[in-house]
Amino acid sequence: MSNHAPSVVQQPLSQEPTQPASRQWLSWLTVVVLVYLLLAAVGAIGGGFKAAAGDNAKELFSFATNPFVGLMIGLVATALIQSSSTVTSIIVGLVAGGLPVQIAIPLIMGANIGTSLTSTIVALGHVRNGEEFRRAFAAATVHDAFNILAVILLLPIELLFHPLQRSSEVVAGLLVSDASLDMGSVNVMKTLLSPAIDLLKFCVSWLPGSVWQGIALILIGIGMILFVVSAIGRVLRKVMVGRAKDIMHASVGRGPISGMASGTIITVLVQSSSTTTSLIVPLAGTGVFSMRQVYPFTLGSNIGTCVTALLAATAITGDNAVLALQIALVHLFFNLLGIALIYGLPFLRQIPPRLAEGLATLAQRNKLYVAGYIGGTFFVLPLALIGIGQL
């Protein structure tokens, strides 16, 4: 009996590492291929935008010269696509194609708000249990409240003094100049991506005129980004979700710095802040984590989601490489500055959780508040403001 038991235990232990290891190898290879496609898609959008717009890029985006309209466009686009990574990658490609950085900055800020819709929808899964729903809805909407407050505070400052535009311009100039010294103006990326981009250009070459070819390239690039961001999220979730949960349980409850770090790491691993915040909402609903623990974790996810845009910016070469990297850095600096300002100042720190808890209490009493909040914040109000801005 005693000799038989160890043989039963040891056999599965020896077999377990081999199969998952081979599957993980294939999964990581898939991730590499998907990242390559993402970079090629961003390059295609930039090339398509140049071909379609020519020297008239500014006129095409004259509707977004009003920063509040640009903000709403970024918000609605991200709420519809359900991925700030996708929207910011598209914006990087558009900037590389000639979209002015000052017009793109409000679009980036709007994307930051729109991405928080996913976790709010996830909270609806707890709607049948009143107290559980209140906790989950509060944990979800603290993300919304923080991102909205960050825009309210930082957009006027940016419009008046341009700290994000100026600081990102300086840092992007330093990084790209360093790259040109060390990597031959990032020609390595151009060499790697040119076969894929040339193939895409060949696929649309039958269309009449550069304008239609450019539009087709943009649409193909956007479609590829939608596919890649979704696919890479699924693959990474399969590979990392167990480890992600381990990180979450080990670090979220250890304090705000640890919570932010774990939120950042998990978001980088799964390449989706929506996924990260959606992971923690059910845990908050069941009482595993408190609002005090969820709040900094959510802020970390805001930092982690900036990696995709930074990665996308590496696909851009030539004169607009600095601009592409600059708008990706704006996304990062906006989130870092928002955290430093709001979480760093005690009188501002408590505003998002208090707003979230107040809204959750109303939502618990009457579910019409939920429909009104989601529809009004993410669709009706932004679309109305866009319409007013066109008058």
* Predicted confidence (pLDDT) at residue 351 exceeds the cutoff of 90: yes
* Predicted confidence (pLDDT) at residue 18 exceeds the cutoff of 50: no
Of residues 149 and 33, more confidently modeled: 149
Question: Does some domain include residue 3?
Answer: no
Which residue range forms the structural domain that includes residue 359? Answer: 26-389
Task: From residue 213, give the alpha-carbon distance in Å to each of 104, 204, 299.
Answer: 24, 6, 41
The token pair at 359 is 């809204």
Of residues 61 and 159, more confidently modeled: 159
Of residues 334 and 47, more confidently modeled: 334
Of residues 113 and 239, more confidently modeled: 113
Question: Does some domain include residue 358?
Answer: yes
Question: Does some domain include residue 122?
Answer: yes
Question: Does some domain include residue 158?
Answer: yes
pLDDT band at 240 (very low <50, low <70, confident <90, very high): low
Of residues 16 and 134, more confidently modeled: 134
pLDDT in tens, 149-192: 999 999 999 999 999 999 999 999 888 754 443 333 434 556 77
CB 55 within 8 A of CB 210: no
- For the entire predicted model, the pTM comes to 0.75
Taking the C-alpha atoms of residue 260 and residue 212, their distance in angstroms, rounded to an integer, is 45
Question: Does some domain include residue 9?
Answer: no
Instruction: Give pLDDT, residue 360.
Output: 95
pLDDT band at 246 (very low <50, low <70, confident <90, very high): low
Taking the C-alpha atoms of residue 260 and residue 251, their distance in angstroms, rounded to an integer, is 9
Taking the C-alpha atoms of residue 62 and residue 323, their distance in angstroms, rounded to an integer, is 19
Question: Does some domain include residue 5?
Answer: no
Domain tally, the chain: 1
- The secondary structure of residue 251, as a DSSP letter, is H
* Predicted confidence (pLDDT) at residue 48 exceeds the cutoff of 90: no
Of residues 124 and 43, more confidently modeled: 124
Instruction: Give pLDDT, residue 247.
Output: 63
CB 284 within 8 A of CB 135: yes
CA geometry: angle 141, 147, 152, nearest 5 deg: 125
Kindly report the number of other CB atoms within 10 A of residue 354's CB atom.
Answer: 14
Question: Does some domain include residue 21?
Answer: no
pLDDT in tens, 189-210: 567 778 888 888 889 888 888 8
Highest mean pLDDT among 247-251, 340-344, 375-379: 340-344
Question: Does some domain include residue 134?
Answer: yes
